[in-house]
Amino acid sequence: MPDELLIRNMARSEVDELVSWAAREGWYAERVSPNTRRLLRELGGFLYDSDAYNDDLPHWLAGSPAHLVIPYPLVNNDARYLLPNGLACADDFFGLLRDGFDLLWKEGAKLPKMMSVWPHGRISDHPPEPDTTTGRLQRDGGNDAQDPDL
């Protein structure tokens, strides 16, 4: 495992290279070390990270400054379009999201639930797809039978 100084220097380099027009609020890098979150709080002032795959609900880390961990969803993710046996079209992705939402809605009656969806602009909303995922979610995504405000 790389030592902390190496990780610190890599993190500093990554932070320095982030796009300057975007406020640095969150972090997702697909890889973490035991030091990553501490370094993000120390070096970047990040409010949250999404380098977690072990839970469905966000949680706050102890200590200061405040830092929220928002788990990255591997299931509700349009990267499945890129897998050989993954999603074939927007209808597949929408069906996956709809079925997942319906289950969480039922489970949420007893215990709060959260559904995170991570569409990527260069995958789900890529224009040859005539009925993009975002369009389907906006048009058909509300579970209005239970709540007309959704």
Give the Cα separation of 67 and 86 in Å (integer).
33
b/e map 88-97, b = 16+ CB within 10 Å = eebeebbebb
pLDDT tens, position by position, 105-129: 998 888 888 888 877 777 776 655 5
pLDDT score of 8 more than 80: no
* Cβ(17)–Cβ(11) below 8 Å: no
pLDDT tens, position by position, 68-100: 999 888 888 888 888 888 888 778 888 888 898
For residue 96, give both structure tokens. Answer: 């996956």
Beta bridge partners of 27: 49
Which of 13-27, 43-57, 92-106, 113-127 is predicted with the least confidence, judged by mean pLDDT? Answer: 13-27
Confidence of residue 59 (pLDDT cuts 50, 70, 90): very high
User: Angle CA(136)–CA(139)–CA(143) in degrees, nearest 5?
Assistant: 100
Q: What is the CA radius of gyration of the chain?
A: 18
Percent of the chain residues past pLDDT 70, beyond the cut: 73
Give the Cα separation of 80 and 95 in Å (integer).
13
